[in-house]
Every structure is written in structure tokens, then in C-alpha cells.
Amino acid sequence: MMKPSRLGLMLMIGAALTSILTLTPPAAHAHVKWFTEVEPVKEELTAILSPYFMIVTAATAVLLAGLTQLASRLSGWSLAGRIDSRMDLWRSYLSPLLKYGTAAALSLQAVSGSMFAPEFALEQPIERALLWAAILCLLIPYKFATKAGALVALGLFIHLTARAGLFHMLDYIFYFAVIVVLVFERTRDSRLGFPLLYLGTGLSLCWVAVEKWVYPVMAEDIIHHHQVPTFGFSPGAFIVMAGMIEFVVGYLLMVGLLHRLLAVALTLIFLSTTLLFGITELIGHFMIHVVLLMFIIEGTSFYKPPVEMHRSRTDQMIFVSLNFLFVLSTFLLLYYRFA
């Protein structure tokens, strides 16, 4: 049995994580490209890797090591078992939720004159026609129609990637994951759907988080224009923390920690950003809301998350913390070089 002091420490870590996620101002998690007209200016790499940034990164790695212990304890609680039992009743609706949720997200974009994100306008009639064709196919309750709609959406995504650039479209790589899941629905490979959704969503969040560090001038513009509280921190320090929180959430989704808790927290955050930024935010993040709802229902019921590939708790702590440092370094260098 766990000692009270250790249990208390884990609960404090969990409470701290939840509080940080839910109390961070909504604008800190906004997609900055959508809400500022400021010309992006790339920060010097030496300025990004400041002593403050390094301290925050090291502290985050230590916190993540502790979260592995919290996650294992939470999964053993009777409350977690009861939640899983309740969610079992809804798991049969996951496939229709993804299909019709995708159709709804694309419909909102088509009506607003955009494609996949508010920043990408429908420039040609053929784009609009194909987008509506994909929507109509997804609405037909027949698996071959679903695959056809997903393939049309895939073609549009590839077309947009050629137009905007591969590294720009990594912001929206979760759409690619959604499309692939729809294509392989009701096949032998459908079991890969949720791992792919977790990976794609986590990757998108991490990539967008790095944007705040590389182009802080855009985030600073949002802070000033929307009067975002920084709790006594300078805008620069606040942007570092906001980006780190977003990166951690994406990373945890990828490695398989606290999926359901993170999905609930992110849903609350994105709902609050919708209240702040309005219809543009709703259109841009509607697909994310659908995916997060699926994460809340699903949890990790039928696949083994990467963190569980390591059996001992010590190995899990080392894996999560050191892998975090590696992933963060890789994302930062790739974004700085190519985005």
C-alpha cells in the first residue's frame, strides 16, 4: 500500500497539472495565426534557449516523471473503473461520431469559405465542389461512401499541403489522422485508428506550441490586444509557459498518459477560447472537439500506450522525462529550421 506522504504528493502533482491546464487564460491556447495581422518575426535561437526556458523545461521533465506514478495509481481507483464502465455504453457510437463530426466540421468550413482551417480560403470553385462532395459522401450511412468521402478529403488535404507547405500543414496533421481512420474503417487495420488519432492530435498540439516560442511577437500581439492576464509574468515569460503547457499536453497524448483527463481539460479550454474569439475559433477547432469527445469516451481501452512498453515504474519515469527532452529538442529545431 502506498504511504500517505507519497499519495499526497501524487495528488498534489495531479491537482497542479489540472489547475495549470484549466486556469491558463484561453488566449494562451489560441491558434495565433488566426487572430493577429502582425508580420511573423523569427526569434533568435539563442534567445529562445534562454536560462528561463531551460529551467522551465527541466522542471517540466521532472514533473512528467512524477505523472507516470500518478497515472498508474489513478487507473487502479474504483472511480476510474466506474467511469470506464459508463463509457463502455458509448463506445459503439465512436465510428458514427467521427464520421458525422467530420462532416459537420467540414460543413462549417465550407459555409465560412475556408478549408480545414480559417486561414485557408477556398480559392477555386473546384475546391468548394470537392469539399461539399466529401461532406455529402460522409453523410451517407454506407461504408464505401465514407471511404469515398475520406479519399476526397485526403485529396484536398494533399492539395492544400502543396499550396501551404508540408511544415505549415503539420499544424493540422490531426486531420490527416482523421481521414486515414475513416479510410480504414471496418477493415483489419481499423484497430490502429485510436493510436493514430492520439499521435496526430498530440503532434499537432506540440507543433503549434513551438510556434509560440519561435514567433513570440504574434502571441504578444494577442496578449496586448485581448488584454490576456499574465499573472505578474512578463509577456515573454508567460508565452514560454503557455507554449510549454500546450507542448506537454500534446506529448502526453502521444506517449499515453492521462488521456481522458487531458481530453476533458482541453475541451474546457477550447470552449473558453470560443467564448473569447467567437465563430472563427469554433470553426477552426470544431474537429478537435469531436476528437477530444472520442478520447473522453475511449480512454485507452484496447491498445497499449507507448509508456506501458516499459514495465517498471522507474523505467517509465526515465522514458517519459528523457523522451520529452528529446522530442522537444527535435520539434524546436525542425520548426526553427523549416517552418
**162-183 confidence digits (pLDDT tens):** 998 888 899 999 999 999 999 9
Rounded Cα gap, residues 120 and 64, in angstroms? 36
Q: Where are the beta strands (DSSP E) in the chain?
A: 114-115, 117-121
| Section 146-157 average pLDDT | 95
pLDDT tens, position by position, 183-194: 988 787 777 778
pLDDT of 307: 67
Strands 117-121 and 114-115 turn out to be antiparallel
| Section 55-73 average pLDDT | 83
CA dist list (Å): 85 to 71, 82, 98, 116, 244: 18, 5, 21, 35, 33
Rounded Cα gap, residues 83 and 68, in angstroms? 20
Domains of the chain, residue spans: 40-74+91-338
Q: What percent of the chain has pLDDT over 90?
A: 37
Give the three-state DSSP class for 120: strand
Asked whether the predicted pLDDT for residue 287 surpasses 50, the reply is yes
| Section 220-242 average pLDDT | 82
Rounded Cα gap, residues 55 and 34, in angstroms? 30
pLDDT tens, position by position, 205-221: 999 999 999 998 888 88
> pTM (2 decimals)?
0.82
Tracing cell 464520421 back to the chain, one arrives at 99
pLDDT of 13: 44
Q: How does the average pLDDT of the chain come out, rounded?
A: 82
Contact 320, 68 (CB under 8 A): yes
pLDDT tens, position by position, 117-140: 888 999 899 999 999 999 999 999
DSSP string, 271-336: HHHHHHHTHHHHHHHHHHHHHHHHHHHHTTSSS--GGGGS-SHHHHHHHHHHHHHHHHHHHHHHHH
